[in-house]
Amino acid sequence: MARALLERYGVVVRESAHAESIEAGFAAVYDVLKHLEESGRIRRGYFVDGAGAAQFAMPEAADRLRMERTRVSEASTEPARFIAATDPANAYGALLPWPATPSEDARPMRAAGAHVIVHAGALLAWVAKNGSAILTFLPADEPEKSVAASHLARCLASLVENGGRGSAEGGPREFGRRALLVETIDRKPAAESPLGPALEGAGFVLGARGWMKRAKRFRLEDDFDELSS
């Protein structure tokens, strides 16, 4: 179990065991991790800021984290990534806490079917199972806020581009769909969201129910069939 956590996350902290719902939690694997560290097979250190002191990592994971520090500026030009909320590649809700939200009833979860949009390691949004509800976590200041909003909108648009097959712009091909309708953003009607200009720039069209993006190769009636299903 300890080795599975190391291979899955690279860095194992107390929250990793909780994310996997391991019976008895971190205590169930701590002694094994400690033995692996004492025998020189893994490393112990302070890898994740804000997590507890008991942190263990595969040697290659620790080395990649050090390399990543020098790559932060380059990462800003990469597209945002659309990742399943339960995927180990999503550190939020597992290794890292979810950012604060405006209200307690608008909390993101590592739930099946939900996704996150991440850019250069920063969480931009949590997307509900059907894509109709989004919670955003954009920077507070400009121009960073507008840049992040643009990355978020292009990532969402990529889910229905190329004929509903997704695209390399952060959207996995297996998620490609015929249409995407965003009805609420941050628990408010999507039409009221300041994210609107970014969505419009990414090809979304504002309608009575919210912001709509359609895959161009499908007929209009197919879009409504997709949404109703």
Q: What is the pLDDT of residues 8-43, one digit of tens each?
A: 888 898 888 887 888 888 999 999 999 999 999 999
Distance CA 111, CA 47 (A): 26
Model confidence, pTM: 0.74
In this model, does residue 163 exceed pLDDT 80? no
User: Rounded CA gap, 206 and 118, in Å?
Assistant: 24
Average pLDDT of span 44-70: 84
pLDDT tens digits for 166-203? 344 444 444 557 889 999 999 999 999 999 999 999 99
The whole-chain average pLDDT of the chain stands at: 83
Confidence class for position 104, pLDDT limits 50, 70, 90: low
**Cα(38)–Cα(22) distance, integer angstroms:** 23
Mean local confidence (pLDDT), 79-107? 84
Rounded Cα–Cα distance for residues 14 and 182 (Å)? 35
CA 147 – CA 138 distance, rounded (Å): 9
pLDDT over 70 percentage in the chain: 83
Most confident of 50-64, 98-112, 113-127: 113-127
Cβ within 8 Å of residue 132, ≥6 positions away: 181, 182, 183, 184, 210
pLDDT exceeds cutoff 60 at 227: no
pLDDT at 102: 66
Stretch 62-80: mean pLDDT: 74
Which residue matches tokens 């190391």?
6
Going by their DSSP bridges, the two strands 115-119 and 133-136 should be labelled as unpaired
Among candidate residues 217, 80, 76, the one with its CA nearest the CA of residue 157: 80
Q: Is residue 70 very low, low, confident or very high in pLDDT (cuts 50, 70, 90)?
A: low
Predicted confidence at residue 218, as pLDDT, reads 46
- Percentage of residues in the chain with pLDDT exceeding 90? 45
Tell me the CA distances in angstroms from 33 to 23, 38, 162, one per residue in order: 16, 9, 46
pLDDT score for 228: 55
Residue 186 near residue 134, CB atoms below 8 Å: yes
